[in-house]
A and B are shown apart, each in its own frame.
Chain A
């Protein structure tokens, strides 16, 4: 192959890429109000630049390799573009907090009284499942608290099964001391942090 032909091929390759590679892929990202009507925040960025979204229905339009630009959408435009995706969102998960009696592994009476509400909600939802997450205070090591959280969650799981729930609908997990209800330093006893969260989804 001569140098001239090689250069010609290279140029043809570059020309193809300029047409196909440069603008391949674009996205529109729109910030919507949350179900409680508050509006969150999001940042959209690539190598060419970054924009922040913090208003309801504020959108960013971005093409690959180019700086994102901000624009505002009317409700009707959001619906036109996204109605089908929004309609497919599952219902918002609902959280129940179960507390333990002071310095005990026993649930409070209030916590036990929530069980019928949890069962009723699960019957309403299609393909309902429940995640039971154990939490601890910051006494002891993170690893031991993960195990302790799991033990608390398993206890509540057993309670739900004896109340009539199918075991296949229940998942137990533990966040140990990583998701405190009341923020404390390490190695601090705090009964309000010893709890189990139930989320019905």
Chain B
């Protein structure tokens, strides 16, 4: 009830507007529950894909990225994403990174970020998870694990 009064005082508009607001809120709360998302694509050019459950979807700015998605670029591709904790990850051409684990701002308060750098060149800028709980962040390459303390990194992985 207190909340309702507050909304009215912000809008200083008639009751009808308040009703419309409630309907909008209901609709998007339902949508938010369907796909909470780990982040969004912000930069995509050339052959750039989000691979979900084995299916490669061409990446477009604004597209939602989920935990367990794989980011993949072809020979002329570039891809940049921002995760919900402000972590940024980008890929140059012929590269692949998996958003292996992402847990942030969940009801149980758990923090976890695991990125798997499979191949190619990438850049990483740490976000809130690294600030709040540095040990919760793990960047994996086939040859070594990287731990971070609030950091910008460039990573190259060669499969040979």
Q: Which residue numbers of A lie inside 8 Å of B, CB to CB? A: 23-35, 40-46, 60, 62-66, 68, 78, 81-93, 105-106, 126-127, 129, 131, 133, 142-143, 146, 151, 154-155, 157-159, 161-162, 167-168, 170-176, 178-179, 199, 201
Contact = CB atoms under 8 A, between A and B. Distances in A.
Interface centre among A93, A142, A178 (most CB of B within 10 A): A93
Nearest to B93: A84
B147 A90 contact: no
Contacts of B144: 27, 29, 44-46, 60, 62, 68
20 contacts: A25-B158, A27-B142, A32-B123, A43-B147, A44-B144, A62-B141, A66-B143, A68-B144, A82-B156, A85-B92, A90-B88, A92-B88, A106-B6, A127-B62, A129-B40, A146-B109, A158-B21, A176-B109, A179-B128, A199-B86
Interface of A is mostly: mixed
Nearest to A107: B10
Given A46-B143, A142-B109, 19 more contacts: A27-B117, A34-B125, A40-B150, A40-B151, A40-B152, A42-B147, A43-B147, A62-B141, A63-B143, A78-B154, A82-B121, A89-B80, A89-B123, A162-B17, A173-B84, A176-B109, A179-B128, A201-B40, A201-B82
A40 B10 CA distance: 42
Interface in B106-160: 107, 109, 117, 120-123, 125-128, 132, 141-160
Interface residues of B, number: 70
Nearest to A167: B28
A158 B105 contact: no
A87 B148 contact: no
Given A85-B123, A162-B21, A62 B147 contact: no
Contacts of B154: 29-30, 32, 78, 81-82, 85-86
Contacts of B147: 42-43, 45
A85 B7 contact: no
A82 B11 CA distance: 49
Contact of A29 (B82, B141, B149): B141
B147 to A, nearest CB: 4
Contacts of A46: 143-145
Given A68-B144, A90-B42, A201-B86, A81 B121 contact: yes
Interface centre among B2, B61, B143, B153 (most CB of A within 10 A): B143
A201 B109 contact: no
A32 B3 contact: no
A163 B157 CA distance: 46
A80 B117 CA distance: 19
A178 B132 CA distance: 9
B81 interface: yes
Contacts of A65: 143
Contacts of A88: 43, 45, 78-80, 90-92, 123
A155 B143 contact: no
A46 B144 CA distance: 5
B90 A89 contact: yes
A133 B106 CA distance: 11
B25 interface: yes
